[in-house]
Amino acid sequence: MPIHRVEVAIKPALPDAAGEALCARTREDLNIAVEGARVIDVFTLDAALTPEEVERVRCELFTDPIIQISATNQSLACDYDCVIEVGFLPGVTDNVGRTSLHGVQDTLGRALAPGEGVYKSTLYALKGVDKSVADRIAAELLANELIEQYVVKTAADMAELDGKPLLALPVVSQQSDIAVQDVSLDLNDTGLMALSRDRMLALDLSEMRAIKEHYARSDTRARRKQLGLPAAPTDIELEILAQTWSEHCKHKIFNAVITYTDKDGETRTIDGLFKTYIKGVTDAVSERVPWLVSVFGDNAGIIRFDDEHLFALKAETHNSPSALDPYGGAMTGIVGVNRDVLGAGLGFQCIFNTDVFCFASPYYNGEIPPRLLHPRRVLRGVHSGVRDGGNQSGIPDINGAIVFHERFLGKPLVFCGTGGISPAVVGGRPAHEKAAQPGDHIVMTGGRIGKDGIHGATFSSEALHEGSPATAVQIGDPITQKKMADFLLEARDAGLFSCITDCGAGGLSSSVGEMACAPGGAEIHLDKAPLKYAGLAPWEIFLSEAQERMTLAVPPEHLNTFLELARRREVEATVLGEYNNSGTLDCYYDGALICSLDMEFLHEGLPRMHLEARLDTPEPASELLLPGDESDLTGDLLQVLGALNVCSKESFVRMYDHEVLGQSVLKQFQGARQDGPGDAGVIAPVPGSKRGLAVSCGICPKYADLDAYQMTACAVDEAVRNLAAVGVTLGTIAGLDNFCWPDPVQSPSTPDGRHKLAQLVQACEALYDVCLAYDIPLISGKDSMKNDYRIGDTKISIPPTILFTAAGILENVDCVVSMDVKAAGHVVYVLGETRDEMGGSEYLALRNQVGVNVPQVYPLSARALYERLSAVIARGLVASCHDCSDGGLGVALAESAFAGDVGMSVTLSPLTMDNGVIALFSESQSRFVATVAPENTDAFEAVMDGSPCYRIGETSAEPMLRILCADGRKVEADLDALRTAWKRPLDW
């Protein structure tokens, strides 16, 4: 086939914004000065087109005549020393290429032939760099070799090429053997474990033995003989079992029987962490919150929003893929969790995203271990992936955080959350009830199947190691998903399907396998599945985690209407088989039965894990060193404001669309200049209604090493006080727990597994205790338990981390309060007790100390405070309210003041903490800075009476923050100086 290469560049006389941005990036990230860069888009048309047709698409489709020039089979690079061209590897999602194909067809008014295609690549023409430097720029900045190919050419090379393609066409040529193999389990224990490892099954010995025993049973053998199946499992059966039984899908650690020895040496047995603590607290609280609708049973937790609407909430992690390919991993994280909400009940419309990332410092200057990327590159890539995934899907990002800790070098954490809304009744049925019926068709919609993401579920159930598969890395395609989501909500409202679920981890194997539980079986024909390219083995088709797919159960009477609507919406939908009540999951390929798995064994046959947890005695704490007689703490405050965990993340957040859908009430940045950090995101999601949703996050990994119980309690408290700060009342709050832990299973490679598991037990205890006190049911959650890096002698385990996402319902959004001080002459209060709790604080971290006294949560007194706070906010008595969090009281005072562009003069002597350093920088929980107009102070104080509420000063017209501590130390800073210190570190 003739290949036509079309290059498109900005006109030489115009500035090239992308080229300038690239020069800035090479300077900032690689410390390489590039004299000039031009970015050239390359479209390679692998299609039989006439010269006139090529000319038409070049001019009409690919070129913007106002600002661009273009050429066919001739390079536009000029005045350069080296070029780098970056394109995709075969099989990697090429979104621009695929859209271009649509554009070419529209322009020519005809369809291209099967096999014809358009491929996108990018040419960077660089001036002032030699080939070796260009190589570095390509490898360390522009291309990721797991998904992309690149070449570097000099001007001389280019002259020789004379317009010919630089890269090979990324056409998949590698074909798997499509024959189904049997896999003998007639092996000893060593052989079974070798098999598990070699096939990436990630199953342990007891699990391998359970499978071996199942296949050895006489009834299994007899049944298989009758069906014409081999006695040994087929490859597809073994793969289905491995992924269904993966830690990722079955949460084996959270369901294990744990023998736990606590810090006092007392031992007891825990009958499953999930059942005891997570479901336990939800059960206990459920009597007091009448709005739970569907918890733990669906893709997302579902609660009642108002009489006519339900609300669904879910958060996921995508850590392992983001470690290998930050952009694609994070993007598939966000669009993946969107599908969880789209697949909750009969389908929810996604109305917001949240994002929380954990990285090592972007200014890290140590060695980067093999296969890891520099944290700066990870941060940029993850952020861009979430940005593009959310923005292109039309879902606003309303809350999040970026957290830094050195041990996230081993694995970044990428938490993506989504909320959704649905009418309570859709297509005449309750929106939260769904079940496939025998006779319903199995229909797959959305994208096609490729080798992408094979073994994703098992991959994420392991540490990152040398053999971690590149196929686990994928790129999302938000537009294919957006088209599918629009279509599915239309089909939902027309009542065209009886069940829907996300085709996520484990692919069809997981979605069909789970959906087949209700009817009691399914029959699927894998040769009918639409493929991106030929050459996938049946097991690969069934397990592929190719993105942008949903699996449905469509009743026969609606099938034609459903498929016709899909056609009109240009969404692919394919019937793959039928649900039935056979008791087995049967797969066919070209008419031959290749898999028949007993549904009960598949879902219930997994042996329960038995684990041991034992809390190590902590090392004696080093003595706390506080500065001696420094009387001016202004410099210290400026320094803490600039700490990575405290400073502004505005430059990142502004790149997320946070207002699409038109429901925004409180945005991430607030105040006179819209640059003060808000506490909770607030939206009014139902048009015409004042009823609102507030959403917040809490995450405190820095306390984990000191006390995993308090790390968790603090995370819950942080999320709740963020909600309380805007006016949410306890009793309306639903919670989500996302655990990210280092491997907590004792083994030669994890000699401290018992301790890590004991920390997990402590975290669960805290979750139970605090949620019970605050009346918070946990409506959904997720755990990711293998967040370690292990290559050679290097092992990096993340600090145990829990993200707590909270959503609260507001009766009337007109009553919410923002964090910025509103006017001079208002009275400033500190709510909550300030204690000597410097352990894990930002102040000590800047001095390379950890400290001892980790902040403690006192849930009962905090509860009383939150109740009083919501009462004064509801009565309109509060002008501003801001939570005290990372960095302590000094930070909260500074942020409140500069956000409002209003000065503040306070004295901390009313607090019960005399030491000025501790008063300003201790990170005691459950505290707020509130300001109140003078005419409201009496009423405010009357309601607050009974909770710690300290009047510390007034706001002032003079743009200065003045703090006098009880011990005479002081802070005096101009608001601009505070704002600048806070904004500068990550103002990228």
Using rule CB under 8 A, residue 60 touches other proteins: yes
Contacts with other proteins in 9-38 (CB under 8 A)?
A: 17-18, 20-21
- Contact letters for other proteins, residues 422-461 (x by CB under 8 A): ----------------------------------------
Positive or negative: CA dihedral 979, 981, 986, 988: positive
Residues in 184-203 that interact with other proteins by CB under 8 A: none
Please pick, from the candidates 28, 35, 64, 630, the single residue that binds other proteins as defined by CB under 8 A. 64
Instruction: Please pick, from the candidates 102, 221, 288, 875, the single residue that binds other proteins as defined by CB under 8 A.
Output: 102
Judged by CB, which is closer to other proteins: 707, or 820?
A: 820
Q: How far is the CB of 654 from other proteins (least distance, A)?
A: 5
Least distance CB 391 / other proteins (angstroms):
6
Does residue 482 interact with other proteins by CB under 8 A? yes
Region binding other proteins by CB under 8 A among candidate stretches 462-470, 639-647, 660-668, 746-754: 660-668
Does residue number 687 form part of the binding site for other proteins (CB under 8 A)? yes
As a three-state string, the secondary structure of 927-966 is CEEEEECHHHHHHHHHHHCCCCEEEEEEEECCCEEEEECC
813 contacts other proteins (rule: CB under 8 A): yes
Beta carbon nearer to other proteins, 16 or 298: 16
Figure out which of the listed residues 32, 61, 416, 862 binds other proteins, where binding follows CB under 8 A: 61
Interatomic CA distance for residues 137 and 514, integer angstroms: 46
Query: Which tokens go with 847?
Result: 């001095």
Instruction: Of 77, 81, 84, give the one whose Cα is nearest residue 12.
Output: 77
376 versus 441: smaller Cβ distance to other proteins: 376
Number of residues that bind other proteins (CB under 8 A): 64
Burial class, 69, CB count within 10 angstroms (exposed 0-12 / middle 13-18 / buried 19+): middle
Contacts with other proteins in 542-601 (CB under 8 A)?
568-570
- Choose between 57 and 611: whose C-beta lies nearer to other proteins: 57
Using alpha carbons, select from 834, 846, 847 the residue that is nearest to residue 919. Answer: 834
Comparing CB distances to other proteins, the nearer of 331 and 884 is 331
Q: Which of 153, 380, 667, 863 is close enough to bind other proteins by CB under 8 A? A: 667
Out of 248, 455, 658, 882, name the contact with other proteins by CB under 8 A.
658
Residue closer to other proteins (CB basis): 37 or 133: 37
Q: Which of 217, 268, 654, 984 binds other proteins (CB under 8 A)?
A: 654
The CA distance from 642 to 986, in Å, is 9
For residue 239, give every residue at least 6 positions away whose Cβ sits within 8 Å of its Cβ, in sequence order, or none. Answer: 199, 201, 509, 539, 542, 543
**Minimal CA–CA distance to 513: which of 504, 522, 526, 501?**
522
Residue with the two structure tokens 């599918």:
484
Q: In which residue are the tokens 């190719």 written?
A: 546
Check binding of 933 to other proteins (CB under 8 A).
no
- For residues 134 and 139, what is the distance between their CA atoms, to the nearest angstrom? 9
- The helix/strand count (H/E) of the chain reads as 32, 41
Could you tell me the CA-to-CA distances from 234 to 241, 450, 493, 538, 966 in Å, in that order?
A: 11, 21, 41, 11, 75
Cα three-residue angle 316-320-325, rounded to 5 degrees: 110
Burial of 169 (0-12, 13-18, 19+ CB in 10 A): middle
Pick from 54, 62, 91, 421 the residue near other proteins by CB under 8 A: 62
CB-based burial label for 18 (10 Å; 0-12, 13-18, 19+): middle
Is residue 822 close enough to count as binding other proteins by CB under 8 A? yes
Check residue 670 for interaction with other proteins (CB under 8 A).
Answer: yes
**Alpha-carbon 490 to chain mean position:** 27
Interface residues for other proteins in 361-400 (CB under 8 A)? 387, 391-394
Strand partners for 791 = 794
Question: Is 343 among the residues that bind other proteins (CB under 8 A)?
Answer: no
Q: Nearest distance from residue 976's CB to other proteins, in Å?
A: 17
Q: Closest separation between CB of residue 878 and other proteins, Å? A: 11
Q: Which of 140, 262, 486, 941 binds other proteins (CB under 8 A)?
A: 486
- Judged by CB under 8 A, does residue 100 bind other proteins? yes
Q: Which span sits near other proteins by CB under 8 A: 58-66, 461-469, 765-773, 787-795?
A: 58-66
Q: What is the dihedral of CA 131, 134, 140, 142, to 10 degrees?
A: -140
Q: Which of 172, 660, 791, 933 binds other proteins (CB under 8 A)?
A: 660
Instruction: Report the residue number, 678 or 839, with the smaller CB distance to other proteins.
Output: 678
Strand partners for 42 = 7, 121
**Separation of alpha carbons 617 and 755, rounded Å:** 9
Nearer to other proteins, 56 or 847 (CB): 56
Nearest-approach distance from CB 917 to other proteins, in angstroms? 33
Question: Rounded to the nearest whole angstrom, what is the least distance from the CB of residue 566 to other proteins in the complex?
Answer: 11
518 forms part of the interface with other proteins (CB under 8 A): no
659 belongs to the binding site for other proteins (CB under 8 A):
yes
Q: Which of 12, 163, 439, 662 binds other proteins (CB under 8 A)?
A: 662
Q: Which of 252, 405, 483, 782 binds other proteins (CB under 8 A)?
A: 483
Query: Residue 13 or 156: which CB sits closer to other proteins?
Result: 13
Q: Which is nearer to other proteins, 550 or 711 (CB)?
A: 550
**Residue 103 interacting with other proteins (CB under 8 A):** yes
- Point out which span in 60-68, 277-285, 306-314, 464-472 binds other proteins (CB under 8 A): 60-68
Dihedral sign for Cα atoms in the order 186, 191, 193, 196: negative
Which span (135-143, 230-238, 768-776, 818-826) binds other proteins, by CB under 8 A? Answer: 818-826
Whose tokens are 């491995």? That residue is 242
Per-residue interface string for the shown chain with other proteins, residues 720-749, x marking contact by CB under 8 A:
------------------------------
Nearest distance, CB of residue 567 and other proteins, angstroms: 9
Write out the binding residues for other proteins, residues 613-652 only, by CB under 8 A: none
- For residue 956 the two structure tokens come to 């002032």
With tokens 């352990």, the residue in question is 839
For the stretch 361-370, contacts whose Cβ atoms lie closer than 8 Å and that sit 24 or more positions apart, written own/partner, are 361/404, 361/406, 361/644, 362/644, 362/986, 364/406, 364/409, 368/409, 369/409, 369/789, 369/791, 369/792, 369/794, 369/796, 370/466, 370/791, 370/792
- Select from 817, 889, 891, 944 the one that contacts other proteins (CB under 8 A): 817
Angle at 946 between CA 942 and CA 948, to 5 degrees: 100
Q: Quick one: tokens of 944?
A: 């607050």
Q: Report the site for other proteins in 299-318 (rule: CB under 8 A).
A: none
Token reading at 946 = 């009974």
> 838 phi and psi, to 5 degrees?
-85, -10
HEC sequence for 311-374: EEEEEEECHHHHHHCHHHHHHHHHHHHHHHHHCCCCCCEEEEEEEEEEECCCCCCCCCCCCCCC
Task: Compare residues 389 and 507 and give the one whose CB is closer to other proteins.
Answer: 389
Q: What are phi and psi of 156, to 5 degrees?
A: -65, -45
Site of tokens 């084996």: 252
Beta strands in 11-49 (DSSP E): 36-46
- Asked if 898 interacts with other proteins (CB under 8 A), we say no
Residue from 73, 664, 936, 980 that binds other proteins (CB under 8 A)?
664
Q: Does 661 help bind other proteins (rule: CB under 8 A)? A: yes
Terminal Cα-to-Cα distance of the chain (whole angstroms): 45
Question: Between residues 282 and 480, which has the closer beta carbon with respect to other proteins?
Answer: 480
Binding-site ranges for other proteins (CB under 8 A): 17-18, 20-21, 41, 60-62, 64-67, 95-96, 99-100, 102-103, 106-107, 109, 120, 387, 391-394, 477-479, 482-483, 486, 568-570, 654-662, 664-667, 669-672, 674, 684, 687, 813-814, 816-818, 820, 822, 900
